Structure 1
Amino acid sequence: MIIPTPSTYRPTLNDFREASKRLEGIALRTQLIPLRWYDEDPKILLKPEMLQPVGSYKIRGVYNWVAKLSPEQRAKGISTASAGNMAQAVAYVAKLYKIPARAIVFDTSPQTKKDSIRKYGGEVVPKSWDGWVEYTTNPEDDRSFINPVEEFGLLDGHGTIGLEIMEDAPETETIYVPLGAGFLGAGVALAAKAIKPSVSVIGVNAENSPHYYESVKHGRVVDTPPKSTLADGTSGNLISFPNSDKLLRLVQETIDEVVLVSEDEIKDAIRYLALENKLVAEGSGAMSLAAAIKTSKEERGKTVCILTGGSIDSDKLTKIMGSPLTPSQ
C-alpha cells in the first residue's frame, strides 16, 4: 500500500511529456480520424481510445502510475476497486510487469466483466457494496492500490491524450470528453491548455447520471443518485466519493463547461460510429460525440471527440444497432 498522490497535484507540460515517453511502445498514439457525416464536413475529429490494449484509455494512466513506483513497491503487486476498464488495465499492466494484480468487484458485477479481468491474469475478489467501500478506504494488503476515484497520480498519464491532440491538431478549438471520476477530463484539459490556453474542454455527463453537471451548476457537491444508463462506465454519485469536494474543485479548475446527453443521443452516437466510422464504442465512450453533434459547428469550431472505450455487451450492441438512426444535426 502506498500513500495516494496529494489532491493538490497538477501536472505540468513537462510531466505530460515525461508520461508520454514512458508510454512509448505500451499505449498507442491513437490517430485523429475525421467523422464521416453524411455529405458535409462537421469539423469533428475522433480520438478512438477503444483501439488501445484492453480497449480503453485507462492503460495510459495505470501504466504511467505503475512505472513511477519503486521496484520494491511494484514487486508486491497492484490492486484496484473496479469491475470495468480500470480493473482490466490494472490486470494487463501487471501482466506486463509479471507482478500480481487484484480487482475488488461488486458481488453483483456481470460475469463477463469478471472473466475479462481474469483473461489478463488478474485475481477477482467479489464484495458487497459495504465491503467494496471499506476496501477503497482501508485496503487489506500491502499491494499498491490504485483508487479510481481518488488517485490524482492518474492525471499525467491520462492527460497524454490532450498532449497528442494539440500536437497532432493544433487548430483544435473544442475538445469533448466524458466525465466519470474526472481525472481524464482534467488531465486532458491541463495538458491541452498548457499548449493552447484558448482551447475549450467540455465535459459530458449522461442525463441519467448528472453528477458533475449538477455539482458544477450549484457550486457544491450535489446528491444525484444515478439511474440506469448506457454510460455505465461514467455513472456515479459524486457525494458518495470520500474526496468529492476535491474532485469537484479539480473539475471546476480545469473543465470549461459540463453538458448533458440523453439515452437516445448516446444510442444514436454508438450506432452512427459503428455504421459510418466502423468503430465500436461503449455508452460512456460515445457521449463525447453525442454532445458534439447536437452543437452547431459555429459554436464549437474545430472539434475533437475522445472516444474513451469499447467495452459494450454484445447483446446491448445488437439491440442498439437494430433500432433506426435519427440524425442529430
Structure 2
Amino acid sequence: MELVTISDIEAAAERVRDVAVRTPLLLQTWDPRGTLWLKPESLQPVGAFKVRGAFNAIATLDEERRTRGVIAYSSGNHAQAVAYAAQRYGVPAVIVVPDVAPRIKVEATRSYGAEVIEVPIGEHEAKAHELATERGLTLVPPYDDAAIIAGQGTAGLEIAEDLPDVEVVLVPVSGGGLAAGVGTAIKARAPRARVIGVEPALAADTAEGLRLGRQVDWPQADRARTIADGLRAQPSELTFAHLRKVVDDMVTVTEDEIREAMRTLARKARLVAEPSGAVTTAAYLSHAGELPPGRTVALVSGGNADPAMFAEILAG
C-alpha cells in the first residue's frame, strides 16, 4: 500500500493556498504550564479543517470529472467542505448525510448550493456509492483517499513551520485522515515531536486497534453515543496504515472532559469549538500525566457547534 508523502502534502499546500486559511498558532497565556498552543481550524471558511482535503481532492480531478459533479457522504463538516469547494469550482455537488447530523451542519451544506440527501445513520456511505454509480458522479470520500489525507496534512506542515521546536502534537482521530496527514507532515518536518491521537472514550476503536496492532470494528450504535459527532467514524485500511506509522500514542477523553474543554476554550481562549474540536484540549487539560512534556500544539479541528447544545454546555 502506497502511503502519502511529504511531497504530496507540499503539493497540496500549493493547491489550497488561496482557499484554506493559514490558521495561526495561539499561545495560551492562561495555561499555568505555559506550554499550550492552539491551532484553531475552526476559523476555516466552513468552520473546520475539512476544507483542506476537499479542495485538494477536487483540484486533482480532471475537467471532465469535475464537470459531471461530485458526491460525498458525511456527518457534517466534510459535507460542508465538499459543497463549498464544489461551489467555488462551479460544479454540482450531492451530499448524503445521516439523519442525526447536527442541523447547523446540514443547513450550512445546503447554503453552498449542494443537494442534500438524508438517510438513516449508518446508511449514508452505501447510499453515496449507489448514487455515484447511478448519476456518474465522482465520490469525494471523507478520509479514505490519498488526496484527502494530503490536503489535511497541510495543517501539520503549518505547525512545523510556525513552531519548529514543537514537542507534542495533539490531533483528533475518527476516520483518520487528519491524523494521518498531520502525522506524516510532522514526522517529516519536526521529527522530534510526538504525535498523539485523541478519541472520545465512547468511540475509542482506533486506540484499541493500535494497541492490538490491527483494525477493530466497534458497532455504529456504540460509536454514536459520544457527543463528538464528528468522531464517530472508523479508520479505513489506508488511514490505519498511516496511523500505525505516524501516531506515537493515543489518549481517550470522557464526555464530561470534552464539555469542560469546550467551556475552557470559550471562556479563556475565546474560541467556539464543537465537541470533536475540543477533544485535544480535553486531553491536555485532563490527561497531562499520559502526555509527554513540552511545547504542545492542540489542533482544534472544528467550531460548528449546535447553538442550543453549546449554550447548554456553557451554562453547565
Q: Which one of 295, 298, 307 corresponds to residue 288 of structure 2?
A: 295
CA offset at residue 151 of structure 1? 1.9
In the alignment, is the contact (CA less than 8 A) between 1:9 and 1:153 conserved in 2? Answer: no
Q: Which amino acid aligns with 2:15?
A: R
* Corresponding residue for residue 312 of structure 2: 319
The 5-angstrom pairing of residues 85-96 of structure 1 reads 85-96=77-88
- 2:47 pairs with 1:64: no
In the alignment, is the contact (CA less than 8 A) between 1:220 and 1:245 conserved in 2? Answer: no
- CA deviations on 1:185-211 (whole Å, 9 max, x unpaired) are 010011111112221100001011111
1:205 and 1:217 map into 2 onto residues whose CA distance is 14
Q: Which one of 216, 226, 232 corresponds to residue 235 of structure 1?
A: 232
Q: Which moved more, 1:215-224 or 1:123-132?
A: 123-132
In the alignment, is the contact (CA less than 8 A) between 1:43 and 1:297 conserved in 2? Answer: no
- 2:62 pairs with 1:101: no
* Corresponding residue for residue 252 of structure 1: 244
* Corresponding residue for residue 226 of structure 1: 223
Give the TM-score normalised by the residue count of structure 1: 0.89
Q: Aligned pair count?
A: 310
Distance 1:28 1:133, change over 3 A: closer
* Corresponding residue for residue 268 of structure 1: 260
1:298 and 1:153 map into 2 onto residues whose CA distance is 30
Partner of 2:117: helix, strand, or coil?
Answer: strand
RMSD: 1.9
Partner of 1:299: helix, strand, or coil?
Answer: coil
The 5-angstrom pairing of residues 73-152 of structure 1 reads 73-129=65-121, 131-138=123-130, 139=132, 140-152=134-146
* Corresponding residue for residue 3 of structure 1: none
- Structure 2 unaligned runs (5+)? none
In the alignment, is the contact (CA less than 8 A) between 1:36 and 1:276 conserved in 2? Answer: no
Higher helix share: 2
Q: Which amino acid aligns with 1:321?
A: L
* Corresponding residue for residue 29 of structure 1: 22
1:104 and 1:98 map into 2 onto residues whose CA distance is 19
Distance 1:211 1:194, change over 3 A: same
- CA deviations on 1:76-98 (whole Å, 9 max, x unpaired) are 11110113000000110111011
In the alignment, is the contact (CA less than 8 A) between 2:227 and 2:275 conserved in 1? Answer: yes
In the alignment, is the contact (CA less than 8 A) between 1:36 and 1:277 conserved in 2? Answer: no
* Corresponding residue for residue 326 of structure 1: none
In the alignment, is the contact (CA less than 8 A) between 1:175 and 1:199 conserved in 2? Answer: yes
| Identity rate, percent | 37
